[in-house]
Structure 1
Amino acid sequence: MNSTYDTCANDYLTCLLGRIGATLAGVKPAELINVSSGDDAFGQWQHVKAAIKNFHDMDYIVIKVKKGRRQVLFYHGAALDQTLNSYSVQLFLKSLGYPENYTLEGYLDCLVEKLRGESFPHEIGVFLGYPLKDVKGFLGYSSLEMVQVKGWRIYGNREPSLETYHKFKEAKEEFQNLLILWGEGGNNKSIESDGFRESKRAL
């Protein structure tokens, strides 16, 4: 069987989808990644946009394009709404200038505005699915000590954080394996089709 790295070397679309596999599967609420934006990558980016449309509740926002790179926030609407629709999360984000009345669109708009600004909004960790205690710890809003680095900096009790990390990792790997199997079946070019949408339900 080909490795994920072999697949990435040969197929831009498969590689990118593999990177955001946990989000496409609805396990991780969002991913912020940089993708190529040069002239040679324009056609590939069109394929990515077409493929994303075939995943239920998936969407993306292009944050900025700079120096041949496109910064994109990919998110799973239902998973992100569930993450943000929490009293403690909203209380924290409101203290950082997010709207008093929660809506997914309103909070995304606020985050995107900050991402396009001068200072990076590290509270994005909440949107990416990191435990609130770890985001607060990183920002210095709690007295918890950092105990480990595993995907992100973990503060205080490591168990719930490690559980979240492994959940994301397993979902991503499972999705990547599905992509490899799909490619070995000679269907790489059909990832944008309804056929792939049906096959991914195995997740």
Structure 2
Amino acid sequence: MEREAFERALAYHCAPALVGLRCACVISLSSADYPALPRVAGRYTRLLERRGVRIEVLCRCESRWLLLVYRPELLEAHLQGREAVSLLQRRGYPTGAGLAALLRHLRRRLLWREGFPHEIGLFLGYPPEDVQGFLADPGGGRCKLCGHWKVYHDVEGARRQFARFDCSREALCSRLRAGMTLSQLFGVRETPAA
């Protein structure tokens, strides 16, 4: 069933954002497997926004959808940090215009064919110093640890974060395997599909 597959994919790839350990996660899904994904994402946003989670299509790139699963309050706070603002300004983002404007600019950057916008790491809650490290070392050859992202600075802090992220993934995925749905996991009542 498409719903079960979608929920399993969300739990596997986006558990840290779903449970609030991270401000955002991104997931890429086949447009052939999910032709109505914008509608599905909207339905899940209506379901989960009562728990502080939004799901938005960032782009349909080639044959895939790129979804952002995020907690708006956490994401906005992360993007307002001094280092994040500085890095986003250097990349042309309208840093004083609010989260919606930043996401619109990111969508445009994803559609430009001038290379992938690696500053997306800021939108995923990566430490700004690691995003800057990757921008200076695009192949990642000088990173000190490779896990949920390429780490250039606080290796031990990142290891602890990665372990928490992995535990959140296992917890959500095991509950879904046991037959629960995301609405049950988050204690929200589903409304009939429109």
The CA deviation at 1:155 is 0.8
- C-alpha deviations, 1:113-170, integer Å up to 9, x for none? 11111121101111111111111111118xxx52121222211331222222223222
The CA deviation at 1:15 is 1.4
- C-alpha deviations, 1:39-70, integer Å up to 9, x for none? x6346775554233221222233233355422
Per the alignment, residue 168 of structure 1 pairs with 165
Residue type of the partner of 2:149? W
Per the alignment, residue 186 of structure 2 pairs with 197
Give SS of 1:73's match: strand
Aligned sequence identity (%): 26
Per the alignment, residue 151 of structure 1 pairs with 148
Give SS of 1:80's match: helix
Matching residue within 61, 68, 74 for 1:79: 74
Structure index of larger Rg: 1
Contact conserved, 1:22 with 1:175, CA < 8 A, in 2? no
TM-score by length of 1: 0.75
Residue type of the partner of 1:178? R
Name structure 2 gaps, 5 residues minimum: 189-194
Name structure 1 gaps, 5 residues minimum: 1-7
RMSD across aligned C-alpha pairs, in angstroms?
2.9
Per the alignment, residue 21 of structure 2 pairs with 27
Question: Within 5 A, what are the aligned runs for 1:103-114?
Answer: 103-114=98-109
Matching residue within 86, 89, 94 for 1:94: 89
TM-score by length of 2: 0.78
Deviates more, 1:55-64 or 1:44-53: 44-53
Q: Give the number of equivalent residue pairs.
A: 181
Residue type of the partner of 1:198? G
Contact conserved, 2:26 with 2:66, CA < 8 A, in 1? yes
Distance 1:91 1:46 in 2: 35
Distance 1:97 1:10 in 2: 38
Distance 2:54 2:159 in 1: 27
Residue type of the partner of 2:27? I
